[in-house]
Structure 1
Amino acid sequence: MAREYSDSEPPLGFLAVEVDIHRPPGDPFNQSTWPFPLIREKVTGTSESQIVTNGNYDDAFIDRFVQAGLRLAERGAVGIITSCGFLAAAQTR
């Protein structure tokens, strides 16, 4: 996959759980919130109920985020973020 942005203004990648909610300006998933390019990706096959849990995340769930992050990097993202603090539990994986 080809890079989508130039080196003079590299984009940040943003991963989000696959939910359909309004993302107004100021929301981190809204491009207009940021003063630089943003590449966004909803992680297919994820849901709020999977992420807000008392249990551990299964490997398939983590793998979907890893694969989505790799796709963002291939598209030129120089860093990858999310706005979901629940994913901190998976940081070591």
Structure 2
Amino acid sequence: MRHIKDPWAMSDRLPGTFRASAFIFRPYPGSPIFNELVQQGYDPVAMQTYRDVDLTAHGADEAMRQRDEFNFTTGQQFGTVARDDLNQMLAGISHE
């Protein structure tokens, strides 16, 4: 969150514009992290099975769901942040 909000704050007081987007992490085939996750036991097919991210239950406007073609997920948990917490943060960013 800091990597988005800090530049936003700087852009408020500096000339020019700044745009940032946040997405749920998804490893891409052939990347070092993808290969590492396969070695850890993650299913490579499941890591490439994408679906839309629906943040409407967390307060995001339904119209925002289709706005960003890059916001998709495998539905898998790769990190330590609970999915509900992550979705809440992403919904908050989409409003800002």
TM-score category by the smaller chain? Answer: under 0.3
Computing the radius of gyration over CA atoms, which structure comes out larger, 1 or 2? Answer: 2
TM-score (norm 1): 0.25
TM-score (norm 2): 0.25
Structure holding more helix per residue? 2
With a CA cutoff of 8 Å and minimum separation of 6, indicate the structure with the bigger relative contact order.
1
